[in-house]
């Protein structure tokens, strides 16, 4: 087959056009098949345990409390305004930060440092530690949902 005819210096003949179309349909079929195959390893249902964590009654958190929940890697604290939860997962590459004696957070893997509200102070972390949603269930108990992040500074307050 003379491929030079396809190069553009001559107008594409009808036969070349049909040949090109056939070749194009071949690659389109391959491409579609590959895209279709990528659908398989990308799940739509996630096989995990619940991201919710039962924290307890609001009265269990007197002002000044800071608690670490290892099973969900969050810190739950209460100050004079309300109760809030900060994720312990470093925003850089997912290591677990530790809380220092001054109430700041340090990451052991690549040296990121965060202040008490989780804002980055040093190191490679691209953003503040996630704040996690806290809500009260109808039975009066507080829950945290680690998959739902809320804006930094969002605190749960006792309904007046």
Where on the chain is the footprint of another protein (CB under 8 A)? 38, 41-43, 46-48, 51, 70-71, 73, 92-96, 106-111, 120-124, 126-127, 147
Q: Which is nearer to another protein, 91 or 142 (CB)?
A: 91
DSSP 83: E
Q: How far is the CB of 124 from another protein (least distance, A)?
A: 5
Q: How far is the CB of 147 from another protein (least distance, A)?
A: 7
Q: Which helix (H) or strand (E) holds 108?
A: none
Q: Which is nearer to another protein, 22 or 37 (CB)?
A: 37
Q: How far is the CB of 119 from another protein (least distance, A)?
A: 9
C-alpha–C-alpha distance, residues 74 and 132, integer Å: 8
∠ Cα 151 155 159 (to 5°) = 135
Q: Which is nearer to another protein, 9 or 71 (CB)?
A: 71
Contact assessment for residue 69 and residue 61, using Cβ atoms and an 8 Å cutoff: no
**19 CB burial (10 A radius; 0-12, 13-18, 19+):** middle
Q: Which is nearer to another protein, 27 or 46 (CB)?
A: 46
């Amino acid at each position: 087959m003379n491929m030079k005819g396809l190069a553009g210096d001559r107008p594409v003949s009808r036969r070349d056009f049909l040949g090109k179309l056939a070749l194009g349909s071949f690659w389109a079929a391959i491409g579609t098949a590959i895209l279709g195959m990528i659908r398989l390893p990308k799940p739509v249902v996630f096989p995990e345990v619940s991201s919710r964590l039962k924290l307890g009654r609001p009265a269990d958190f007197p002002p000044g409390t800071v608690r670490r929940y290892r099973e969900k890697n969050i810190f739950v604290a209460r100050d004079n305004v309300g109760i809030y939860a900060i994720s312990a997962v470093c925003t850089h590459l997912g290591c677990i930060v530790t809380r220092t004696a001054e109430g700041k957070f340090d990451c052991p893997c690549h040296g990121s440092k965060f202040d008490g509200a989780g804002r980055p102070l040093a190191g490679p972390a691209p953003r503040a530690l996630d704040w996690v949603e806290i809500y009260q269930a109808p039975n009066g108990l507080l829950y945290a949902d680690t998959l739902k992040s809320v804006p930094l500074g969002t605190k749960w307050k006792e309904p007046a």
